[in-house]
A and B are shown apart, each in its own frame.
Chain A
Amino acid sequence: MRSPRLLALAAAGGLLLTACGGGGESVDTGGGGGGGGGDNVLVAAVSAQPDQFDPHVTSAYPSFQVLENVYDTLAVPDAEDLTMQPSLAESWETSEDGLTWTFTLREGVTFHDGSEFDAADVVYSYNRIIDEELNNAYRFATVTNVEAVDPQTVEITVSQPTPNLPALIGGFKGMAILPEGAAEEYDLTTEAVGTGPFTLESSDASRTELAAYEDYWGGAPSIDGVEFRYITEPAAALTALQNGEVQWTDNVPPQQIESLEGDDAVELATTPSVDYWYMSMNYAREPFGNPQVRQAIATAIDRAAVTEAARFGAAQPNQTAIPEDSFYYYDYAPYDANAQEAQSLIQQAGVQTPLTMGLMVTDEFPETVTAAQVIASQLEPIGITVDVQTVDFATWLDRQAQGDFDAFLLGWLGNIDPFDFYHAQHITDGSSNYQGYSNPEVDRLLDSAATETDEDARKDLYDQAAKLIVDDVSYLYLYNPDVVQAWAPGLSGYEIRADKAINFEGVELP
């Protein structure tokens, strides 16, 4: 799911919405979870209310938690390794020159309103995103035409080879396929007409309810439905799980992991995610345009300590962006958390210390606030006074866009393809290159990697680019966090995923 975009309304502090109501009739409050009395509904505690349900418009994680179960895309990331697998498209192929993609669609798929799925729906959905310049239009940057060849075949023409096209159109449910004319026929902000395993029944300020879709092309789910309850406070979500009010939650703060490991009432799962958190310094603000200053800072920071403080160890320190489990992982760690070395680097740089660095963080993502305080304490000894500036996310985004920062901490979430990890962030004038990095060699490498169709050659190009990015400290990479989720013992058929997509299609209650 999640695009390689920052999900505006992710977990976050107490800002968001309401919490659960428990004990509705459909809920078995007995120990161990649901399943009694024919109530075959999974109750999942999530941390926030979805903002809306139009998959092409929303950018909020709480919305995609629901939409993941309602809509389908042509391709879908494999639960294990996130490679692109067939979904609404049964297969696809590329022309010799790499400029034409042909998708063969699955037959016998029906939408929740009963209409038949075919090529016209794909053309309609993609053109809606492109023509109305919706959020994800950037994913079609190289796409010049989307055409229905016949009801079972869609042809996509691109202006240059785009090896990651399946990841672009299948990476998350923001690229969902709607029935033709859906936007005119339905109020997509509150209604959903997908092809997925569940239908959207209702949603209010305390819960969202889904029902199993009997005609789902992958076979009807074994549970009757899913109820998402919003429980803001992690402690409340865990209590609800422990006493059986809910059977699943992702609202588990890392500090709780240790105490939950010995808890028989809770099944705890963690897996490395494809997110990464980083620090970015503004090249336009001296002395941070000086590579030696950035390298000194990169050398002074002890990523293990930052990770321990911010995530209670539920993360992997990493000096590059891509996590260890990925095919594209590049084992490169030139900085070794050495204050003395950092000190001499900063002296060589010839800047006057002590100097002050504003470090912008947001309480939308509390781990950045914690990490910033640890970084501040690590930079103090080398003569850099860090002024931690906590702002709300709206202000944060504004200041980032205006270049009004010395440095900031944030993460990129839900990255699937190496293009998502590196391209727009580091190419000269890239849309996410707020730090102002520009290295012609990196530009060349990123550009050729974007069109390279051979996987090994592509990895090699990205490795070279990553090395330069790390050496130049375009981004100062910190860690890849773990996904942490918990559910009732005996719940089966659920798979925790690195991209934090939550899919209840195959779940069976204990």
Chain B
Amino acid sequence: MTGQPLPPPDAPIAGQGDAKGTSPGPTTLRPARPRWRETLGLLARNPTAAVASVVLLLIVVLAVFDDTFAPEGANEISVTDRLQSPSWSHPFGTDDLGRDILSRVILGASVSLKVGFLAVGFALVAGTLIGLLAGYYGRWVDDVLMRVMDMLFAFPAVLLAIAVLAVRGPGSGNTALAIGIVYTPIFARVTRASVLGVREEVYVRASRSVGASDWRILTRHILPNAAPPIIVQTSISLAFAVLAEAALSFLGLGTQPPNPSWGLMLAEGRGYIELAWWLAFFPGMAIFLTVLCFNLLGDGLRDALDPRQRTLMAGGGR
């Protein structure tokens, strides 16, 4: 939400949209499937992406075992110890209620990541389904579904999320839902474009002629072909979702106090910026690092999986 909205639905993305997708070259007779070993190999050869994956892995481990790693609880209030600058006992200092910022940053990781994964999970499932249906059935199904997606799209992303949160009330779960809704059209578009690219391919027509059900064609032939750009999009969307959660919490609409979330901590620290810079600095760094890693991983995945770059460039959503 700090980010920019996404490109308009019908604008070709970097000139590499549907037009090129319809002539997929050498893979004509065989649906492309993600080849995991090969992908990992390619990733390993891309040092930035490899480093990003390792850092992300660390962050995820930290988030999963946050209780073990955090030196203190999230809400151990001690007003007498408030606003202490970073030291050995509090490496990131303490906040206005004397809570240990390092602990809150660690505990905030699980909040931020949970919202991110939930949001992208929602967008992934809903968007892919819509994209598959629209692309495969075409005609009015396509028209109706994609017009709805366009409407969501035309709406400024921040405001859409704010509106969803205003209706549903603030909180982590609803934040995930709001971000998920904002991001659904992207997945729908990416999927649809891939489906259009293979719908009339020989192997699809062949399955159809031998009487395969729509469901079987969609899951066995079309989805695998669309998978690489969706995977790339997922990584990039995670970056966006973490940023969005931070921005919404910053506006007071996302995660609610006293729960630690990076965006919320940043917002709370803003009033103390001159007195105690560490309140806003460390959560900001945490957001930055996580988002950067998701973006770098997304880049690496794109190079490895999607050389034709059908996915949206540039940190989706920004």
Q: Using a CB–CB distance below 8 Å, which chain A residues touch chain B?
A: 13-15, 233-235, 253, 255-256, 259, 305, 308-309, 363, 369-370, 372-374, 376-377, 388-392, 395
Contacts and interface: CB of A to CB of B under 8 A. Distances in A.
Given A388-B258, A391-B170, A377 B274 contact: no
B258 A373 contact: yes
Given A255-B96, A369-B257, A390-B257, A376 B75 contact: yes
A376 B79 contact: no
Given A308-B79, A395-B169, A255 B97 contact: no
A373 B82 CA distance: 14
Contacts of A389: 256
Contact of B79 (A14, A309, A392): A309
B271 A234 contact: yes
Given A390-B170, A390-B252, A391-B170, A376 B258 contact: yes
A233 B166 CA distance: 24
B273 interface: yes
Given A233-B270, A234-B271, A255-B272, 5 more contacts: A15-B252, A235-B274, A255-B96, A369-B257, A372-B258
B280 to A, nearest CB: 11
A442 B121 CA distance: 57
Closest 3 CB pairs of A and B: A377-B77, A363-B252, A390-B256
Contacts, number: 57
Contacts of B82: 309
B275 to A, nearest CB: 6
Nearest to A13: B252
Interface string B47-75: 00000000000000000000000000001
Interface residues of B, number: 22
A323 B170 CA distance: 35
A184 B144 CA distance: 51
A227 to B, nearest CB: 25
A234 B271 CA distance: 7
Nearest to A234: B271
B258 A235 contact: no
Interface in B237-286: 251-252, 256-258, 267, 270-275
B64 to A, nearest CB: 24
Q: Is the interface of B mostly helix, strand, loop or mixed?
A: loop
29 contacts: A13-B252, A14-B251, A14-B252, A14-B267, A15-B252, A233-B270, A235-B271, A235-B273, A235-B274, A255-B271, A255-B275, A259-B275, A308-B79, A309-B77, A309-B79, A373-B75, A373-B258, A374-B79, A374-B97, A376-B258, A377-B76, A388-B256, A389-B256, A390-B252, A390-B257, A391-B169, A391-B170, A392-B166, A392-B170
Interface of B: 75-77, 79, 82, 96-97, 166, 169-170, 251-252, 256-258, 267, 270-275
Nearest to A373: B258
Contacts of A14: 251-252, 267
Contacts of B76: 377
A364 to B, nearest CB: 9
B60 to A, nearest CB: 28
A363 to B, nearest CB: 4
Contacts of B79: 305, 308-309, 374
Q: Is the interface of A mostly helix, strand, loop or mixed?
A: helix
B24 to A, nearest CB: 49
Contact of A373 (B97, B169, B251): B97
A433 B225 CA distance: 64
A156 B96 CA distance: 52
B256 A374 contact: no
Contacts of B97: 309, 370, 373-374
B84 to A, nearest CB: 14
Nearest to A256: B275
Contact of B77 (A13, A369, A374): A374
Contacts of A15: 252
Nearest to B252: A363
Nearest to A302: B79
A374 B95 CA distance: 13
Contacts of B274: 235
B258 to A, nearest CB: 5
Contacts of B166: 392
A370 B166 CA distance: 22
A253 B258 CA distance: 21
A59 B256 CA distance: 28
Contacts of B77: 309, 373-374, 377
Contacts of A256: 275
A377 B169 contact: no
A363 B267 CA distance: 12
A235 B251 CA distance: 18
A448 to B, nearest CB: 42
A233 B280 CA distance: 15
B176 to A, nearest CB: 18
Nearest to B253: A392
Contacts of A233: 270
A391 B165 CA distance: 11
Given A13-B252, A305-B79, A309-B97, A373 B257 contact: yes
Nearest to B273: A235
Nearest to A389: B256
B39 to A, nearest CB: 43
A174 B99 CA distance: 43
Nearest to A366: B271
Contacts of B96: 255, 309, 370
A147 to B, nearest CB: 48
Contacts of A376: 75, 258
A389 B258 CA distance: 9
B257 A253 contact: no
Contacts of A390: 170, 252, 256-257
Nearest to B256: A390
A389 B257 CA distance: 8
Contacts of B170: 390-392
Contacts of B257: 369, 372-373, 388, 390
Contacts of A388: 256-258
B97 to A, nearest CB: 6
A370 B95 CA distance: 12
Contacts of B273: 235
A253 B96 CA distance: 13
A496 B167 CA distance: 41
Nearest to A364: B252
B75 A377 contact: yes
A390 B169 CA distance: 10
A369 to B, nearest CB: 5
Contacts of A253: 271
A479 B96 CA distance: 19
Contacts of B252: 13-15, 363, 390, 392
Tell which of B76, B77, B272 has the most Cβ of chain A within 10 Å.
Answer: B77
A12 B96 CA distance: 18
A114 to B, nearest CB: 46
A234 B275 CA distance: 12
Contacts of B251: 14
B85 to A, nearest CB: 15
